[in-house]
Amino acid sequence: MAEHALYFSDERAQRMYKIRTTVIKTFVYIFLTIFALFMLAPFVIMVIGSFINGENFKAFSDSADFSKLGFVVLDSKTDTWVQNWSFGNYVTIFTYGSNSFPVFFLNTLIVAVGSTAVTVITAVLAAFAFARLNFKGKDALFALLLATMMVPGEMMVITNFMTVNAINWRNTFAALILVHGVSVFYIFYLRQTFQQIPNELYLAAKVDGVGDLGYLVKVMVPIAMPTITTIIILSMMGAWNSFVWPNLVADGGWKYDETHSMMLVSNGLRNLFSSNNAEAKFDAVKLAGSMVISTPLFIVFIIFRKYIMRGVSRSGIKG
C-alpha cells in the first residue's frame, strides 16, 4: 500500500509540475508576443505609410482609420474609388530638391565605411596591446579607459565641436569620420576575445621569429573574426544612425566644394522637407525616405546576425 501511495503521489506531482510549467510558458509567450507587437507596430506603420498616396495620408494619420490602408479607398470629395498605394513616394524622395537625397545617401555611406574602418583599426591595435603586450602602467591605463565609459557621450559634444571648429574642420568628412574613430567599449569587447587565445601561441610565434604585428594579423585577427565582424556591424549602424553630431558639424556645403552638401540622411531628410512640414502629403514621403535609410542596415543585420551572436557568446566566455 505504501508503494502504491508513493507512486500515485509522484505521478500527481509530475502532473502538477507539467501543468505549472505549461501555464508559465503560456504567460511568457503571451507577454513576449504583446511586447513584439508593440516593437513592430511603428515599423509596420512606416512600411505601409510609405506606400500610401500623399493626399490620402493625412486622413489615415489623423483618424488612425485602418480602412484607409486598403489598396483602393473612397474619395470623399468625388465619391469615387481611387488607388491608394503606389511607389510615388519613393520616386519623390530621390527626385525632390535637385536630387539631394542621393547626395545625403552617398555622404552617409562614405562616413559609415570610413568611421568603421578607423574604429576597427584602433580597436584591434589597442585590444592587442592590452591583451598580450606587457608595458608599465598597462592595468592603470586600461582602468582609466574603462572609467571614461562612465562619462555620457553628450558631455563631450561641446568639447569636440569647439575642437573641430578651431581646426576648421566643419563641413568636412574628417570631422564626421574621426569623431567615431575610437570606442572604449569595442576595445574592451575585443580584448576579452583576445584573452581567450592561448598565450602559448604568442610565445611560439616569438620563437619562430614572428613579430607582434605579424602575429596579430596572421593569428589573432582570424581567430577573433566573429567579434571583429560584430564590431564592424555595430559601428556601421552607429555611424549610419548618428544625428546630433552631423547636425552640428555638417550643416552646409563641403569645405572644398560648396555645391556638395555635407548633410547625412539623418539630418538631411529632416531638412529636405522643413519648408513643407505643414503639408501632410510630404509625411508619407518622409516615411519612404526612412524606409530607404533603414533597408541597408536591415539587410546587413539579416546577413550577419549569426556573427553577432557568435561574437557575443565568445567574448563572454574566457577559456
* pLDDT over 80 at 93, yes or no: no
* pLDDT over 70 at 83, yes or no: no
Instruction: Please state the rounded mean pLDDT for residues 229-256.
Output: 83
* pLDDT over 70 at 45, yes or no: yes
Classify residue 94 as exposed, middle or buried by CB count within 10 Å of its CB (0-12, 13-18, 19+). Answer: middle
Instruction: Please state the rounded mean pLDDT for residues 64-93.
Output: 57
Neighbours of 291 (CB within 10 A): 19
Instruction: Please state the rounded mean pLDDT for residues 241-262.
Output: 79
Domains and CATH numbers, the chain: 2-83 (no CATH), 98-315 (1.10.3720.10)
Classify residue 171 as exposed, middle or buried by CB count within 10 Å of its CB (0-12, 13-18, 19+). Answer: buried
* pLDDT over 80 at 65, yes or no: no
Q: What is the pLDDT of residue 114?
A: 92
Q: What is the pLDDT of residue 157?
A: 83
Instruction: Please state the rounded mean pLDDT for residues 89-111.
Output: 80
Residue 253's DSSP bridge partners are: 261
* Rounded CA separation 206/179 (Å): 36
Between helix 184-194 and helix 281-315 the angle, nearest 10°, is 30
* Rounded CA separation 122/124 (Å): 6
Instruction: Please state the rounded mean pLDDT for residues 130-152.
Output: 86
* Rounded CA separation 215/194 (Å): 12
Q: What is the pLDDT of residue 99?
A: 63
Between helix 88-132 and helix 281-315 the angle, nearest 10°, is 20
Range from 70-84, 135-149, 211-225, 263-277 carrying the lowest mean pLDDT:
70-84
Within 8 A by CB and 6+ apart from 159, the residues are: none
Q: What is the pLDDT of residue 79?
A: 44
On average, the pLDDT of the chain sits at 77
Which pTM value belongs to this model?
0.74
Q: What is the pLDDT of residue 60?
A: 56
Q: What is the pLDDT of residue 80?
A: 43
Q: What is the pLDDT of residues 160-208, one digit of tens each?
A: 888 888 888 888 888 888 887 888 899 998 998 888 888 888 888 888 7
Q: What is the pLDDT of residue 124?
A: 93
* pLDDT over 70 at 76, yes or no: no
Q: What is the pLDDT of residue 66?
A: 52
pLDDT bucket at 275, cuts 50 / 70 / 90: low
